[in-house]
Structure 1
Amino acid sequence: MAPSNFSNFLLFMVLLVLHKQAIAEDGSIGYHGYERDALLALKAGFNNSFLDGNWTSIMCYMNETPYWYGIQCSNGRVTGIILDRMGLVGEIKVDALVNLTELETISFKDNSIAGNMMDFTYNQKLRNIDLSGNSFDGEIQLSLLNLNSLESLQLQDNKLEGLIPGFNQSSLNAFNVSYNNLSGAIPQTKALRSFGLSSYFGNKNLCGPPTPTACSATTNLSEPNSQNPGKKSSGNGRFTAILVVVNVIVLVVIMFLFIIYYKKYKKLKTEMKNVLVKYEEHDSKIVDRAMEKTTSEGEIRRKLVFVENNGTTNFELDDLLKASAEGLGKGIFGNCYKAKLDFGPVVIVKRLRDLKPLNGEEFVRQVRVIADQKHPNLLPLLAYYYSKDEKLFLYRFASNGNLYTRLHGGRGTGDRVRFLWSSRLAVARGVARALEHLHLNNQSETTAPHGDLKSSNVLIDENDEILVSDYGLASLIALPIAAQRMVSYKSTEYLSQKQISKKSDVWSYGVLLLELLTGRIPAHSAPPGTNGVDLSGWVHRAVREEWTAEIFDAEIAVQRGANQGMLRLLQIAIKCCDKSPEKRPEISQVLAEVEEIKVGGDSEDEEYPYSSFDRSLTDDSLSATPSLVVGDDRR
């Protein structure tokens, strides 16, 4: 290459680098600067350490791959923001999207963002909006009505209030506002009439089709003026008289339509009562109370299916829709709600998501396998609901919460109730009994009969009985989702060989024992936003370096007479957590050893010197005898 050509080439490359750097550092260069400032303001509201470290320098350049996580670009302009399941908290300013005029997709699915919805007036190219699984409140933004290219609007699982705007975009093919606090009549626009009950489920104050609740004659006779909210009403008497006449005419028309609708509704309800189908299988104890009604289009609608007909669960889907609901959290298989019926029991409703592509028959077959698992320490399935768009599991409510909250909640506060050694040992026994039952009734060697054993899936009922939940759900969940979220897939054998087995459940049980003994949160099952520790590695290091006095939770470390039982349970936990599945014991052997542990003293002696307890932990019973720690069966 000639020197002059080489110099020109070198100069061009330097100018190109400087141009990119200038865009990265100067927020005033055209649209890039405005969009970058908008994204940085958005990031500041989240206070998320990952985004703080990732959203730096230039975000996108021409058609190169975007440099910022969750950002989509085209021709150097921001076209998408996708930040799903990142544990984001805080609020988004209403005008946060004003300068992002090329946005086509925005998704903050399954975070903990609060506050009012953003204004979408300047985002006319938006096609997909997903704000589901957050805590947005206030009314649904009326600016959404002007998005003529809108294809998908997902607002479910929030705290939105007020009326549903009259969406009527012909492009709208996905719409969901279920599980909010919306009220009033569902607008009967062509677009909204195309969506079924699942799009409005869980808003007890909504009325009109497709809900089973008819609207009263005075529901939503008028709506707030969205164009001129500050405009004052005229004092002109003539105008007032005209307005009254118009209102009377509208009222008469609505009453006429209501009478027609009510007659059709009663006719439909009568037809539904005349069609009763019961599913019966010779190998099942399930009494299926499913009611089916085949519509003219061939669609099948089903009611709640109770797996036991014990006479105490006499309620229907309509009763559940009208019940007051309280969100309990976002599980890996779906969100959970506590529903208090006007009459009858308090139940837990689990909305299942990310399922395998199962048809109705396949879904019912898998559910029956789960329902057939009967044991005093397993939380029984009460009922289920299946439709194309909605799958629900119903359980009875365990009033004393879950083990995670009991073990970790309220620490460092005056409201904390001590969790004594005897209660923790009772948990270890109850969970082992439930796990043994699942293992004995599952002959497969290539699956984990529970698959997701962790402290948040261990419940405590009003009688302090231990109930294990969320068992058997792996048969319904798609494998990639299960591998990403379930505890058994965090075991060493799956991480190294992509294999799980019954021994993966044993490993999960061992980590649960370590959580009970140490009072620390395991890293593999820590909730979003919570820092956990590798308990197995931490305990092994503590034993090896002889600082075992720090292993046990301070709440039980001071209980005189309990230390021998705690040491024995620690030995069992370490055997269960062996990196090699072949060296882990069978769950039946584990249960036998746990059952033999003596409770010991529950009394607390304030004069009992902690240093002497330290010596009991570092004597030959544990730290000086490695063979005992890693699996010696001596008692």
Structure 2
Amino acid sequence: MTSPRSPYLLLATAFFLSFHLSYVVHSASDFQALMSFKASSDPSNKLLSQWNSTSSNPCTWHGVSCSLHNNNHHHRRRRCVSGLVLEDLNLTGSILPLTFLTELRILSLKRNRFDGPIPSLSNLTALKLLFLSHNKFSGKFPATVTSLPHLYRLDLSYNNLSGQIPATLNNLTHLLTLRINTNNLRGRIPNINNLSHLQDFNVSGNRLSGKIPDSLSGFPGSAFSNNLFLCGVPLLKCRGGETKAIPALASPLKPPNDTDLHHKSKTHVAAPRMGVMVLVIIVLGDVLVLALVSLILYCYFWRNYSVSLKEVKVETHSKSKAVYKRKVNSEGMVFLEGVRRFELEELLCASAEMLGKGVFGTAYKAVLDDGNVVAVKRLKEVSVGGKRELQQRMEVLGRLRHCNVVPLRAYYFAKDEKLLVSDYMPNGNLSWLLHGNRGPGRTPLDWTTRLKLAAGVARGIAFIHNSDNKLTHGNIKSTNVLVDVAGKARVSDFGLSSIFAGPTSSRSNGYRAPEASSDGRKQTQLSDVYSFGVLLMEILTGKCPSFEVDGGCATAVELPRWVRSVVREEWTAEVFDLELMRYKDIEEEMVALLQIAMACTATVPDQRPRMSHVSKMIEELSGVHVSQSHDALDSVSESPSAPEDACTGRDGPASASQ
């Protein structure tokens, strides 16, 4: 007897077979392309021995990555080869078969022995990363590369490419890296002024000539070195506005006649001596004239400059005093450690530099008379509870001492002025390190440092949560993660939301947990965990907690929602910051940290792990990374002052929000 569920079973079986067949057809196409590539690049079957005809699923092979894509014709999902990383394998031959992998996004064949011209890559329209350096490719610069609309990284260095650099590189508007150094390229460098996102550029070691375009003059001289006839900023100044002049050849010798000999005998001694004397007189005259003109200009401008300087000093001094100064009472500062380090008047008269604006107020760097530097937060118009309750709460915060927490040293509360004093952190904040200075010359934040900072933040928040009073941070975001002189992460602005009824900040909404955003409730420890999960995603993706998606969408997308959609629909590697793609053997660590971040940002609060457990998981993940000394931040200079807005896309650095 036929079961009533048989029709549904038959439909399910048919659906599964149709899905499987569509997958097999596509896999066969990629399989054939990869096997053809293996036949030409590894004829001895020693380097790619795992690639064999008995396995029809290339996604399990060494160096091959796959992702799911929608089939627009059949409305089915299909698995495609999206990444191929085969480095240091001594492979040879041509890469032509790889041009049939139409969904390829990452292609890295560095340090092999491929030769011949680079074939047409116009089919690889999804390609984002192309690394072909340290091979033996020859022929002209591959013009089809400039037709790849999504290309971010291009490295063709250390090959034998010849010809000229095409001006069509302007088409690669998303390009971050362009390395074509150590080839045989000739001619001028085109004016590639459309590459506004270019961060890593190098054309050294070629045979280029002419003037360096102004759009590339911001890169260091090493990016243009070893090109004999190349000139302009940052190299030597061009002669005549073009190339360096080539010394003229000496005129051919003619046989001397009697007149020449007679003339030479008369002027043999006098002429050289006369020439030297004239030259000395000319030089001395020029020097005297120049000195006289300089003295006149100096006297004229110095008088005006000294007057304006006095005005600026008076204005600056009055402004620095006005930073905090209001009507003060006689009680003065309250020092939480019991030791008075300075007087209130000294703090009010100290020179001040604005560091940034946050939810509760504006932060300043204050230099005291004895040379000590402190951070002062001048609070906005906030409502404070009773005096005794306030003192008790501030004492609780002042007792928190941990290597990953910014210590609160003193406070001052009067009717018209409220100040918090803490240690000054010289290396800025995490927001500046992740998003600031995205132009040429930027030093990306490497993976080891990111992992170290994430572990430090987790320890700091876990310490706050596990304190005697079971505190809540309430305002976790990248601008509140400061970096001290040793490169350690320090959590700031903790516990203030439970004391002051300050205004909510749209800037921090991207970090707020759903339950805190919907009904305006105060943050809890579990909502802190959510905010920390968003911070981890910011570290992994390099994106801000809310951002505008590509394609002109004017609506900001929250980072957790975007990460989940990409992980669900695409290959997980699409989530990670492109600046991390240069580092090897970190994929497993990045995926593991991403899983922790997704657990922290669970919609239901009870499904999120406790902060102590999160800290332990990151410690186990980081292993030797955190314990080893890392000096990547030791040389970081003080972050310049600017508004707290590194994520809005405006130029300029983010502030060190203290």
Q: What's the TM-score once normalised by structure 2's chain length? A: 0.43
Give the structure-1-normalised TM-score: 0.45
Q: Tell me: higher relative CO, structure 1 or 2? Use CA pairs within 8 A at least 6 residues apart.
A: 2
